[in-house]
Structure 1
Amino acid sequence: MSPILSKKAKVALAVGTIILLESEKKKKRVWVKEWLQKREQFTHLRLLKCIQSCEPLDVINYLRMDYDAFQELLMLVKPLIEKKNTLFREAVSVEERLLATLRFLATGSSYEDLKFSCIISPQLLGRIIPETSRAIYNCLRKKYLCFPIKRRGMAQSSRRI
């Protein structure tokens, strides 16, 4: 019984297969998704500015605070959360960091859900939100989380509750 393919045919088939596999283009991975590069166009910041100019009362519903309180909080946390731009990419602004954190705290959305409204990747949100939350806590704790030092003061404050 003779073989179906000769040795030469088998070698030619193997070489042809290798050439085809080598020539197939591999799917390129993208560094950043295209829609994430359009943050300036779709961000919360643009929406906030529009709401503030058109319907100032809706700002309270959107931020869960008035715009002046937002600006005051922004000035407090800015030195703690501000990042520098690099040659490769522009840093997420302080305003966007604070807005993303406030929306996360107000809505309880997951990072995956929040990425569509903030136009920030969930991986970056996973770093921004805890960092900004710590900054808010550290800035506000002395003013709003003060405890009485004396025991008598503690007893009096617990009776009021």
Structure 2
Amino acid sequence: MLEEEVEIASAVVVLAAASKKRKRSIWQREYFSRRDLSTAVASELLLDNWLFVNFARMSKSDFELLVGMVGPKIRKADTEKRKAIPVSTRLAITLRFLATGDSYHSLMYLFRVHYSTISLIVREVLEALIEGLKDYIKVSIQTIAI
């Protein structure tokens, strides 16, 4: 009888713990909420063509062309909790990743976007770039006989 009561009490404790949802103490760390500072840095880069080419490995006009091409596909809406990451920042993160091979962690400090979000951004932007540029890219695959 005692074993059955212990099993029932254990099941009640497990169910009660599973049903309680942990309330977030913070929604976003303060460092990431100051993302406007990194957006200001990106704006400064856009003003100087040499700096921008050195940073993104492409001209400003090519960057703006890509923003126009993939912008509607990667744009996110603002929520009550936080502002969405701008299209230009999402594209800049991806281009910087491709140009330098930096880790998501180092990009996190450069753009003030968490590395887990960067991993999602890079995937989404690359898919949009592939879709948007598929008419411009011609690849033929040839099999090599060995």
* TM-score interval, normalised by the smaller of the two chains: 0.7 to 0.9
Q: Which residue of the other structure, out of 22, 26, 32, is the alignment partner of 2:28?
A: 32
Q: Secondary structure at the match of 2:34?
A: helix
Q: Give 1:142 deviation, angstroms.
A: 1.1
The answer to whether structure 1 residue 95 and structure 2 residue 95 are counterparts is no
Q: Give 1:64 deviation, angstroms.
A: 0.6
Partner of 2:99: 106
1:92-149 CA distance string (max 9 Å, x none): 11111001111111111111111000100011111111000110111112112265xx
Q: Is the 8 A contact 2:93 2:111 kept in 1?
A: yes
Identity across matched positions, percent = 28
Report the number of matched residues.
119
- In the alignment, structure 1 segments of 5+ residues that lack a partner are 1-27, 148-153, 155-161
Q: Which residue of the other structure, out of 71, 83, 88, is the alignment partner of 2:64?
A: 71
State the TM-score, normalized to the length of structure 2. Answer: 0.74
Q: Give 1:51 deviation, angstroms.
A: 3.0
Q: Which has a greater percent of helix?
A: 1
Larger Rg: 1
One-letter amino acid of the counterpart of residue 51, structure 1 = L
**In 2: Cα distance, 1:117 partner to 1:33 partner:** 15
**In 2: Cα distance, 1:124 partner to 1:52 partner:** 24
State the TM-score, normalized to the length of structure 1. Answer: 0.67
**In 1: Cα distance, 2:112 partner to 2:102 partner:** 14
**In 2: Cα distance, 1:112 partner to 1:39 partner:** 15
Alignment of 1:103-142 (within 5 A): 103-142=96-135
**In 2: Cα distance, 1:128 partner to 1:84 partner:** 14
**In 1: Cα distance, 2:66 partner to 2:137 partner:** 13
Partner of 1:24: none
The answer to whether structure 1 residue 51 and structure 2 residue 45 are counterparts is yes
Q: Give 1:29 deviation, angstroms.
A: 4.7
User: RMSD of aligned C-alpha atoms?
Assistant: 2.0
